[in-house]
Amino acid sequence: MNKLFRMVILGAPGSGKGTISSRIVRDFGLKHLSSGDLLRAQVINKTELGIAAQKYMKAGKLVPDDVMVNLIASELAGLKTSPWLLDGFPRTRPQAEAVHQHEKGVDDVTGEQLVQREDDKPESVKQRLDQYAVNTGPLKGFYRDLGILQEFHGTESNEIWPRVHNYLKSHLTALSGPF
């Protein structure tokens, strides 16, 4: 049986992680789960979760772990037989542990800060960068200790992307045929 390829992508706000994620799912056929997109859909639909999450999102603060873990767990429950890419989750150690309890063979792709989202207020951007430094950056150690961290550095998405593509191509080809 083919191993299911499952990845999380870590990168600071504005690092181009969204761009790299879309290219990965475009070329490698993984299901893309973006926690920010899932939350924004909840906000638009004015669900209870969306209303509760909105105040954290506006302030650039993290939505509480229990809310996020439930949200992502219910999405992953529907993807038991699919390869997937998690984008924006995990962002904290408890979130990483929650994913890892269920999954093995998680990989990580990181980028560096490149572009500031135009729709962000400066104070919210600062919060998001601080949150990344305090909570999410250290997750690299979590995955490094598990022996499944892969880092990519560069100053723009077009520089990073060929490296990510080549890495995934060689790993995924071995699992499920040419891309």
Output 47 or 166, the one with its CB closest to ligand AMP: 47
Q: With CA atoms as reference, report the closest residue to 88 among 74, 102, 118, 109.
A: 109
Q: How far is the CB of 179 from ligand AMP (least distance, A)?
A: 26
Output 3 or 37, the one with its CB closest to ligand AMP: 37
> Total number of residues binding ligand AMP (CB under 6 A)?
16
Site for ligand AMP contains 25 (CB under 6 A): no
Site for ligand AMP contains 15 (CB under 6 A): no
Q: How far is the CB of 106 from ligand AMP (least distance, A)?
A: 15
Output 119 or 145, the one with its CB closest to ligand AMP: 119
Q: With CA atoms as reference, report the closest residue to 110 among 63, 157, 72.
A: 157
Output 21 or 172, the one with its CB closest to ligand AMP: 21
Output 37 or 156, the one with its CB closest to ligand AMP: 37
Q: How far is the CB of 50 from ligand AMP (least distance, A)?
A: 11
Number of residues assigned to the chain: 179
**Which residue in the set 11, 16, 60, 111 belongs to the binding site for ligand AMP (CB under 6 A)?**
60
Give me the 73-102 binding string for ligand AMP, x by CB under 6 A, dash otherwise.
---------------xxxx---x-------
- CA separation for the pair 177, 179 (Å, rounded): 7
Candidate ranges 53-61, 106-114, 148-156, 167-175; the one touching ligand AMP (CB under 6 A):
53-61
